[in-house]
Structure 1
Amino acid sequence: MVLCVEDLLDGAGVEYRVMELTDRAVSVDDVVRLSKGEINPDEICKTILVKSKAGFRALFLRGSDRVSFKKLKAVMGKSRIASPEDVMEITGVLPGAVCPLLVTTPVIVDWKLLRLDRVNFGSGNHLYGIEMKSVDLYRVMDYTVIDFTEP
């Protein structure tokens, strides 16, 4: 199976690995438990869609971190996590499968994510993830970097 994100990565000449899962994963624990291959839990990241008066934004952060809505408010005003229906309407996939490289909304990356050597994230399909070097993210997506998480 070829994933849409693979075309983007191949076109940009980015090295990556497709991570196959045995069942649908929606959490970091699910990814670790269901991965068919070796995976470093510290490299697992998540994409969370949030909604504010300014519209939708995709937040890209380490899987172990939580969004600090207090920090986020200083940047984009009051916001909340988008409903599953909004996620499906905006991204075309259900929560847990959102790929930060494929979203059409602005992406905000937490600065701690960029300290990782490699990142592992949703591919747009619940049964597959993508692993790549974090330094290559700029080659395949536009994003803003801020501090919006807490451990």
Structure 2
Amino acid sequence: MSLESVKEHLKQWGREKDVMEFATSSATVELAAKAIGVIPARIAKTLSFRGKEDKAILVVTAGDAKIDNKKFRQTFGFKARFLSPEEVLEQTGHAIGGVCPFGLKNPLDVYLDNSMKRFETVFPACGSSNSAIELTCEEIFQYSSAKEWVDVCKGWEDNAEQENESVYLNVNS
């Protein structure tokens, strides 16, 4: 059901046929990166948090980013608390491993973390544990009806520097 709701959502932009479905699981960042053939950082993971008045909020981050509790509290005004797997399914309509900001069961506030902006394209799941789609940052912002770009993650900046260094070394070798 969830994969179908995402494809239906993506029809607005004629992108439903661009959803990739894999014979293997893509339920984790590592599995998705392996299935697609990209570095884990390019996987756009959707994290579900308990927001105000028991309404969930979704934060989409790069695959190598981790939530920075201090930045999260400063940005949203409350502590970062993940939803349980049952709450995620109830709020989003997607099971853990396929959660994405598209085709949601309930209208939820979606935020995109700056950690994704270093890539031309990223790969969010599409409602199942064996699906993804390649999107630009502009597309993921538009398709998810994101409220805004935020800076609530840590741990990816060092990776970004290494990636840039690696590109520099490869180009100049």
Q: TM-score, normalised by structure 1?
A: 0.84
Indicate the residue corresponding to 1:49 in structure 2. Answer: 48
1:141 alignment partner, one of 144, 148, 152 = 144
Large movers: runs of 4+ above 6 Å: none
Displacement after TM superposition at 1:52 (Å): 3.3
Write the letter of the residue equivalent to 1:69.
N
2:81 partner SS: strand
- Contact kept, 8 Å, 1:20 with 1:129, in 2: the verdict is yes
Displacement after TM superposition at 1:41 (Å): 3.2
Q: TM-score, normalised by structure 2?
A: 0.75
Unmatched 5+ residue regions in structure 1? none
Quick one: distance in 1 between partners of 2:111 and 2:22? 26
Aligned residues: CA RMSD: 2.2
The structure that is strand-richer by fraction is 1
Q: How many percent identity over aligned positions? A: 25
- Counting only pairs closer than 5 Å after superposition, residues 1-151 of structure 1 correspond to structure 2 as 3-13=4-14, 17-33=18-34, 35=35, 37-54=36-53, 55-76=55-76, 77-103=78-104, 104-143=107-146, 144-151=148-155
Quick one: distance in 2 between partners of 1:31 and 1:137? 17
Paired residue total: 148
Quick one: distance in 2 between partners of 1:4 and 1:110? 24
Larger radius of gyration: 2
- Contact kept, 8 Å, 1:114 with 1:135, in 2: the verdict is no
Displacement after TM superposition at 1:82 (Å): 0.6
- Contact kept, 8 Å, 1:16 with 1:130, in 2: the verdict is no
